[in-house]
Chains A and B, each alone.
Chain A
Amino acid sequence: AQSVAQPEDQVNVAEGNPLTVKCTYSVSGNPYLFWYVQYPNRGLQFLLKYITGDNLVKGSYGFEAEFNKSQTSFHLKKPSALVSDSALYFCAVRDTAGNNRKLIWGLGTSLAVNP
């Protein structure tokens, strides 16, 4: 069965430090992977995606993510965190195998960047 796990409910980092938000997945075929961010009382905003090609994907607001097929992971990273990055982050995966192409969502990780 398809699944996504975000093992950390909350991540705390100091402003200016690098940040990592973890995501692991399980699919039958090849994955399409996405990261979204949600600010309070707002909808989700797309950050970046991995479909194929380079394992390191660059996205909006200086974020990047690294696809690791052997570890079935797609961790979100940023070299230098900003206070304004504080938000809820969701990882999502879509399986390319079979007929079920629903987007499966993680439970989210709350990122707090401290000044």
Chain B
Amino acid sequence: DAGVTQSPTHLIKTRGQQVTLRCSPKSGHDTVSWYQQALGQGPQFIFQYYEEEERQRGNFPDRFSGHQFPNYSSELNVNALLLGDSALYLCASSSLGQSSYNSPLHFGNGTRLTVT
């Protein structure tokens, strides 16, 4: 049973460029959440996707956008990269159901993005 998989594992981009990160949720999960984790910090919620729509969003600018595909996989896009966007980007999956709010999230190992 595959867990949450993210690609790529590492990425180096230049300021002003655009980046796309990918996530496949754990088998049986239909909801994907994206988090940004700066060095030495806790995860910061970016947004959550369910049924191919953005359901919730954290305090991130519009430069951060996403997409969910019919197979529940998801992409995170960041435009006009800034040095401050350097972080570990984590994808977490869950199943949106009656018990979803008390169900734990399953995380991938993340994509380490470095903006130079």
Contact = CB atoms under 8 A, between A and B. Distances in A.
Contacts of B108: 43
A104 B110 CA distance: 19
A102 B58 contact: yes
B105 A42 contact: no
A43 B3 CA distance: 11
Contacts of B42: 90, 105-108
Contacts of B4: 43
**Contact-residue size bin, chain A (C-beta under 8 Å from the other chain):** 20 to 34
Contacts of B56: 101-102
A107 B107 contact: no
Contact of A43 (B44, B104, B109): B109
A49 B110 contact: no
A107 B42 CA distance: 4
Interface centre among A43, A49, A96, A101 (most CB of B within 10 A): A43
Given A32-B102, A49-B102, A96-B101, A42 B41 contact: no
Nearest to B107: A43
A41 interface: yes
A28 to B, nearest CB: 14
B45 A103 contact: yes
A45 interface: yes
B106 A101 contact: no
Nearest to A44: B107
B31 to A, nearest CB: 12
Contact of A41 (B44, B104, B109): B109
Interface of A: 32, 34, 36, 41-46, 49, 51, 90, 94, 96, 101-103, 105-108
Given A90-B43, A101-B56, A103-B45, 7 more contacts: A36-B104, A41-B109, A41-B112, A42-B110, A43-B90, A96-B101, A105-B42
4 A-B pairs with least C-beta separation: A43-B107, A46-B104, A105-B42, A51-B102
